[in-house]
Amino acid sequence: MEVEEGRARVKVEGVFYNPRMRFCRDLDMLVFATMDSKEYFDALSASGIRGIRAALEAGKKAVFNDINPKAVKAIEENLRENGVGGEVINGDAAAVMRQRAFEHIDIDPFGSPAPFIDSACFSAKRYLSVTATDTAALCGSATNSGLKKYGAFAVKTDVYHEVGLRMLIGFVVREATKYEKALFPLISWVREHYYRVHFKIKKSTAMSARVYEKMGYLAYCSTCLRKKVLGMGEGAERCECGGKFSLIGPIWLGELKQRDFTEKVAEKAEGKLRAFLEKILAEIDAPTAYSLPALAKIHSLTLPPTDVVVGELKKLGYEASRTHYCGFCVKTDADRDLLLALQEVFNPLVNVVLLDAPLVELRLGKDGVFRSIGQVSEEPFLLLMLQFTSFGQQQIPELLPSVAVEENPDGVVHLVLVEGKPAVGIVVKEVVNEEDWVPVPKKILGIVGEIIVGSPCILKNFYGEHGSGGAVYV
């Protein structure tokens, strides 16, 4: 089978070729064209696609290597087909890199790059590029694998890709310091199933010690999602919420990109690549990121739009941005408590318009259970226009402008929707029965960002049992 990619056409029969990595290779070519290097060592070449494209699209003098003789044959044929010259080696990449220095090395392995990083750091003179597809080991999903391969501890957090990318960078940076080399990410990203980092290398005794100023730990509380940055050797007390901190690390706490470099890459990009690079450029460097849905879920709050939270944090003088890897996450140097306070402030302001709103009555029974009454919808969804401070414990909801309250002498609270007022809602799954009071299920299925009551609508920012996204009809 022959594939066309960028300016190359390569045969991929019997060798590894992943079409899903095309976006990565497209972006790599812009990165390579921005690097002022000549030589490029494609240490794990497979079909040779990366090195051939590096030669054709970024003017590099590529050297190829693969341990598999079949791959070597394929590379030689593909070089001929594309009219590209280049040395082809059939060796173990780690051994080759021990014997010879290269200006720029690319490690694009199956799974983990860990076995190649020591020799790559020994050999690479100016640039090092690394891919990792073993994201579970890096992001805290597979804690023991992370310890074994990367010598760092992680648990899965609400922003696991932030942790994963930083664990990878931290590992590579540490591996290089024994060779008196200081590595800095020029650009790095998370996408689909992989992490990718391009490093600049500086050979310097002083600088290779100073990289540890950007290395350290993230103290993470799984109870309240708080995160605190700790340098090497620093410790953390208990979290303010009473929960215990897990110390994630050592990880890289510094910049995930060099702005000037990334801007130059972006200038060359178009379409999807450009949009992706702009997301990377918009991101601040703070390692403390939060998933708004995760915070909202823990605290039974509704979800304000990410941009609104970012905008408000900036107005308050904090650094804040979206992230390139998650649409509902924010990065900020503000404390978690402030984020939470913001979510509370913005809960009632989520844009909901009530059109022909059906009357919803809720009653708080003597047993403390909320029950709804009245025909609300034919659909098996009921939109409760309430903000519960703690849904699970049936606390009285904080009332929103859209909800009027009537208290009867018998202590039953009636909550009635008011038409035309902004409100937020929590969607619960329920078939409403006209005659009987139906207990409102405790399980929250989703949290609404924006919804038009009374007409079919798209449920934005939806998450819950059925994953994210989707539509609901009320």
Q: Which is nearer to ligand SAM, 21 or 159 (CB)?
A: 21
Q: Is 93 annotated as a binding residue?
A: yes
Alpha helices for 302-444 (secondary structure H): 306-315, 336-346
- Of 39, 76, 81, 92, the residue at the interface with ligand SAM (CB under 6 A) is 92
Interaction partner, residue 241 (Zn ion, ligand SAM, none; CB < 5-8 Å by kind): Zn ion
Q: Which is nearer to ligand SAM, 10 or 182 (CB)?
A: 10
Q: Is 66 in the site for ligand SAM (CB under 6 A)?
A: yes
Interaction partner, residue 90 (ligand SAM, Zn ion, none; CB < 5-8 Å by kind): none
Q: Is 194 in the site for ligand SAM (CB under 6 A)?
A: no
Residue in the structure block whose two tokens are 């913001």: 342
Query: Could you tell me the two tokens for 452?
Result: 């038009």
Residue in the structure block whose two tokens are 């350290």: 216
Q: Is 66 annotated as a binding residue?
A: yes
At residue 41, what are phi and psi to the nearest 5 degrees?
-105, 110
Cα–Cα distance, 187 to 266 (Å, whole number): 11
| Minimum distance, C-beta of residue 223 to Zn ion, in the bound complex (Å) | 5
Where in 79-214 does DSSP place strands (E)? 87-89, 102-107, 124-132, 181-191, 194-203
CB of 136 closer than 8 Å to CB of 161 = no
* Beta bridge partners of residue 361, listed in sequence order: 373
Residues 33-52, mask of contacts with ligand SAM (x by CB under 6 A): -----------xxxx-xx--
Site for Zn ion in 175-234 (CB under 5 A): 221, 223-224, 226
Query: Exposed (0-12), middle (13-18) or buried (19+): which is 18, by Cβ within 10 Å?
Result: middle
CB of 136 closer than 8 Å to CB of 167 = no
Q: Is 92 annotated as a binding residue?
A: yes
Cα–Cα distance, 18 to 15 (Å, whole number): 10
- Of 101, 241, 282, 345, the residue at the interface with Zn ion (CB under 5 A) is 241
Q: Is 121 annotated as a binding residue?
A: no
Q: Which stretch binds Zn ion (CB under 5 A): 94-102, 240-248, 307-315, 456-464?
A: 240-248
Please name which of 389, 287, 288, 281 lies closest in space to residue 339, comparing C-alpha atoms.
Answer: 288
| Minimum distance, C-beta of residue 47 to ligand SAM, in the bound complex (Å) | 6
Interior CA angle at 110 toward 105 and 116, to 5°? 40
- Of 68, 141, 145, 351, the residue at the interface with ligand SAM (CB under 6 A) is 68
- Of 87, 110, 307, 345, the residue at the interface with ligand SAM (CB under 6 A) is 110
Cα–Cα distance, 421 to 413 (Å, whole number): 20
| Minimum distance, C-beta of residue 111 to ligand SAM, in the bound complex (Å) | 8
| Minimum distance, C-beta of residue 262 to ligand SAM, in the bound complex (Å) | 22
Residues touching Zn ion: how many (CB under 5 A)? 7
Residue in the structure block whose two tokens are 């994201």: 135
Q: Is 241 annotated as a binding residue?
A: yes
Alpha helices for 178-327 (secondary structure H): 205-210, 259-267, 271-282, 292-298, 306-315
Interior CA angle at 439 toward 434 and 441, to 5°? 125
Q: Which is nearer to Zn ion, 221 or 284 (CB)?
A: 221
Q: Which is nearer to Zn ion, 235 or 409 (CB)?
A: 235
What is the chain's length? Answer: 474
| Minimum distance, C-beta of residue 227 to Zn ion, in the bound complex (Å) | 10
Residue in the structure block whose two tokens are 């904090």: 318
Q: Is 329 annotated as a binding residue?
A: no
Q: Which is nearer to Zn ion, 234 or 406 (CB)?
A: 234
Q: Is 410 annotated as a binding residue?
A: no
Q: Is 9 annotated as a binding residue?
A: no
Q: For the beta carbon of residue 386, count every other beta carbon within 10 angstroms.
A: 24
Interaction partner, residue 239 (Zn ion, ligand SAM, none; CB < 5-8 Å by kind): Zn ion
Q: Is 132 annotated as a binding residue?
A: no
Q: Where do contacts with ligand SAM occur on this chain (CB under 6 A)?
A: 16-17, 21, 44-47, 49-50, 65-68, 71, 92-93, 108-110
Q: Where do contacts with Zn ion occur on this chain (CB under 5 A)?
A: 221, 223-224, 226, 239, 241, 243
Binding-site residue positions for S-adenosyl-L-methionine: 25, 50, 66, 92-93
